[in-house]
């Protein structure tokens, strides 16, 4: 079953969603500059996933620094007649190193199913991007006691063949915790992450032991440290609190403490 994953280097990733005009690049610069300070959260990797319009500009701003840039969503195909869509290769070309796929907002607003998410994760791998695959249950599913069943199904059907610790990150985001200020109890987070760790190992073999398992959903400066202390939590996917550099930096500091 699950071995200790304390050796997995944590990642704090900010998901800006559909927020941020050019002026928001200043927040990214502030995070970049804080990361340059000797000894600050040295054991933590940090990424910001801005809207597609800012990926190239942010990548230029952070070139040569510890701050990585990720993208949000991609089309499964490398190119073609898909007006308004963006290929994983395009995100890569713009300077992204990762892409979020299967976020619950994509699943809900765009009808994405597990097999669509898998196709997008495969596209990310094809483009040599790390796929950040999101899964998580609704409030109703949790109330009905179906959480583990739901995340197991999502993981089995969304995770592509060839997933390993370098090309894949899994983000557990209970849908009812996203943007609500609600979070599961630490015991609930431990239960789900421990279960996911075992499932990952079953699904992809020993690499599953080192795939980062992020927690997402109302991560804030004041709860980050306790959430990050839960076993098999290897970092955070942060929405609202990643928009302001001061809050995001406080979360990074909490994860590195
Ligand atoms: P939140 O969003 O931190 O604002 O709850 C998290 C996410 O959707 O990734």
How many whole angstroms separate alpha carbon 5 and alpha carbon 22?
A: 38
Q: What is the DSSP letter of 238?
A: E
Active-site choice (89, 105, 137, 173) = 173
Which atom of ligand 1 is closest in space to residue 237's alpha carbon? Answer: 9
Query: How confident is the prediction for the chain on average, in pLDDT?
Result: 96
Is 75 a known active-site residue? Answer: no
Taking phi over 0 as left and psi of -120 to 50 as alpha, with beta for the rest, 136 belongs to: left
Express as a percent the part of the chain with pLDDT over 90. 96
- Given 103, 105, 112, 137, which residue is catalytic? 103
Judge: domain 11-256, CATH 3.20.80.10. Answer: no
List the single range of 2-6, 29-33, 158-162, 193-197 with lowest mean pLDDT.
2-6
Q: Judge whether 51 and 85 are in contact, CB under 8 Å.
A: no
Q: Does the structure show a pLDDT above 80 at 2?
A: no
The best mutation among 237, 243, 247 to test binding of ligand 1, ranked by most ligand atoms within 8 Å of the C-beta, falls on 237
Whether the Cβ atoms of residue 225 and residue 219 lie closer than 8 Å to each other: no
Q: Which atom of ligand 1 is nearest to the CA of 178?
A: 5
Q: Please give the distance of CA 193 from its chain centroid, rounded to a whole number.
A: 14
pLDDT band at 44 (very low <50, low <70, confident <90, very high): very high
C-alpha of residue 81 to centroid of ligand 1, in Å: 31
Q: What is the pLDDT of residues 54-105, one digit of tens each?
A: 999 999 999 999 999 999 999 999 999 999 999 999 999 999 999 999 999 9
pLDDT tens track for 114-162: 999 999 999 999 999 999 999 999 999 999 999 999 999 999 999 999 9
* Contact status, residue 70 vs residue 49, Cβ threshold 8 Å: yes
User: Over the range 47-82, which residues count as b (16 or more CB within 10 Å of their CB) and which as e?
Assistant: bbbbbbebbbbbbebbeeebbbbbbbbbbbeeeeee
Please give the Cα distance from 92 to 214 (Å, whole number): 22
Residue 238 Cα to ligand 1 middle (Å):
5
Measured CA to CA, the distance from residue 131 to residue 134 in angstroms comes to 9
What is the atom index within ligand 1 of the atom nearest the CA of 220? Answer: 3
In the reported structure, the alpha carbon of residue 216 is separated from the centroid of ligand 1 by a whole-number distance in angstroms of: 6
Going by C-alpha positions, the residue among 170, 155, 91 that lies closest to residue 124 is: 91
Average pLDDT rounded to a whole number, residues 162-184:
97
Q: What is the pLDDT of residue 257?
A: 78
Report the DSSP beta bridge partners of residue 47. Answer: 13, 68
CA distance 71 to 51: 7
Closest C-alpha to 56, from 96, 21, 89? 96
Q: Output the residue whose Cα is nearest ligand 1's atom 7.
A: 239
User: Which residues are CB-contacts of 195 (< 8 A; sequence separation ≥ 6)?
Assistant: 148, 151, 152
Report the pLDDT value the prediction gives residue 220, as an integer from 0 to 100: 98
Q: What is the chain's length? A: 257
**Which residue, among 204, 128, 202, has the nearest Cα to 163 in the 3D structure?**
204
Pocket of ligand 1 (CB under 6 A): 15, 173, 178-179, 216-219, 237-241
Among this protein's residues, is 173 annotated catalytic?
yes
Mutation test of ligand 1: which of 11, 14, 177, 219 has the most ligand atoms closer than 8 Å to its C-beta? 219
CA distance 227 to 15: 18
What is the 36 CA–ligand 1 centroid distance (Å)? 26
Which atom, in ligand 1's list, is nearest to the CA of 180? Answer: 5
Percent of the chain with pLDDT strictly greater than 70: 98
Instruction: Return the residue whose CA atom lies nearest to atom 2 of ligand 1.
Output: 239
Residue 3 confidence (pLDDT) above 50: no
Pocket test for ligand 1, best of 238, 241, 244, 255 (most atoms within 8 A of CB): 238
> What is the reported pLDDT for 6?
55
Average pLDDT over residues 44-55: 98
């Amino acid at each position: 079953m699950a071995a200790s994953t304390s050796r997995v280097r944590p990642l704090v990733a900010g998901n800006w969603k559909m927020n941020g005009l050019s002026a928001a690049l200043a927040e990214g610069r502030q995070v970049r500059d804080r990361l340059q300070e000797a000894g600050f959260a040295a054991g933590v990797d940090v990424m910001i996933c801005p809207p597609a319009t800012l990926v190239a500009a942010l990548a230029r701003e952070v070139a040569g620094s510890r701050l990585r840039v990720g993208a949000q969503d991609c089309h499964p195909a490398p190119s073609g007649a898909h007006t308004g869509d963006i290929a994983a290769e395009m995100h890569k070309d713009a300077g992204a190193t990762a892409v979020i796929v299967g976020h619950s907002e994509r699943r809900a607003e765009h009808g994405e199913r597990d097999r669509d998410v898998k196709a997008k994760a495969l596209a990310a791998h094809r483009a040599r991007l790390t796929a950040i695959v999101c899964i998580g249950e609704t409030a109703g599913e949790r109330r009905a006691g179906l959480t583990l069943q739901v995340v197991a199904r999502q993981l089995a059907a969304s995770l592509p063949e060839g997933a390993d610790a370098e090309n894949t990150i899994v983000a557990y985001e209970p849908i009812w915790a996203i943007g609500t200020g609600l979070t599961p109890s630490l015991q609930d987070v431990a239960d789900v992450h421990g279960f996911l760790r075992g499932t990952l190992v079953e699904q992809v073999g020993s690499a599953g032991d080192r795939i980062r398992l992020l927690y997402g959903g109302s991560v804030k400066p004041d709860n980050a440290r306790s959430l990050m202390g839960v076993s098999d939590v290897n970092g955070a996917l942060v929405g609202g609190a990643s928009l302001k550099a001061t809050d995001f930096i406080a979360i990074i500091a909490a994860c590195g403490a």
